[in-house]
Amino acid sequence: MSFYRHAMRRAQNNWRQIVTIIPFFWLLLFFLAPFFIVAKISLAELAIASPPFTSLIEWTSNGVMTIRLVFDNFIYIWEDSLYFDTYVNSLKISITSTFLCLLFGYPIAYAIVRSGPVAKPILLFTIILPFWTSFLLRVYSWMGLLADQGTINNLLISLGLIDEPIRMLYTEFAVYIGIVYTYMPFMILPLYANMEKLDGSLNEAAADLGSRPTNTFFKVTLPLTVPGIVAGCLLVFIPATGEYVIPDLLGGGNVQMIGRVLFNEFSRNSDWPVAAAVAIVLLFLLVLPIMVFQHFQGKASGDQ
């Protein structure tokens, strides 16, 4: 019996190790490996070849291996104002869009949590329903709504509110509309999951102690939903910063974001080293807020 128990315990430990290794292998295969490939390309030079960049490792006639690292691509990005302005504009649009998603998504998630047992699944279904349709189809539908002769302008003219169409499509306003509409569920669902786990007796206790509903919300509910707010903001901010399709279709090339610059460098200019350098800088811009958040979260947990 002791041998059997020992074998079972050993099998359980091995199984736990296997389960732990699988996520690390997944990250190594689909995150770290592509990252190192892009980093390698960013340190190469442009070449008229296939692929269009030089090799980092070269062998001399004497059989000596040499490694050639070129940082000119990063210097070029730093010196060219186009890339800096595009990074700033991308961050501005993504931060503003994230704030708008939080502004509209928080009360929606709060209302879903407070709704009845019949209305709650219906409301959740309406939030998830856009995922059942094509992303491109949803963006193209907004092009029809925001066009000069589109549904919104025709409706405003028929109501007598305007005399001539308002230019909405191919503007920054259209890009904001597209990003907020597309990424709103990514804000609502984490907030809903966080609010659903809150203990309702805390609000009742605050009311029994004489706290007003507004004061209870800001002193009790809002602090407890900070993890959901952070999760939703990261899920919106990260993909919105590198967005390409929405600025290209709804912005019409008038709204420059870093995703479009990456596309132009890779496909039109065939300058893979510069494009890879742009992608590496973008990655660090996106990873930095996550690292800062984890640092302060760990510090707060340590203080408690």
The pLDDT score that the predictor gives to residue 112 is 93
Bridge partners of 59, per DSSP, are 65
**Nearest Cα to 286, choosing from 237, 231, 227, 226?**
237
The pLDDT score that the predictor gives to residue 5 is 63
The pLDDT score that the predictor gives to residue 224 is 86
> How does pLDDT run across 134-159, given as a tens digit for each residue?
888 899 999 999 998 889 999 999 98
Q: Distance (Å, rounded) from C-alpha 146 to C-alpha 163? A: 16
The pLDDT score that the predictor gives to residue 2 is 56
**Nearest Cα to 172, choosing from 104, 237, 252, 76?**
252
The pLDDT score that the predictor gives to residue 270 is 82
> How does pLDDT run across 73-124, given as a tens digit for each residue?
888 888 888 889 999 999 999 999 999 999 999 999 999 998 888 899 999 9
Which string of b and e fits 66-80 if b means at least 16 CB within 10 Å? eeeebeebbeebeee
The pLDDT score that the predictor gives to residue 143 is 92
The pLDDT score that the predictor gives to residue 67 is 74
Q: Which residues of the chain have pLDDT under 50?
A: none
**Nearest Cα to 101, choosing from 271, 3, 236?**
236
Give, in order, the Cα–Cα distances in Å from 192 to each of 115, 195, 227. 12, 5, 11
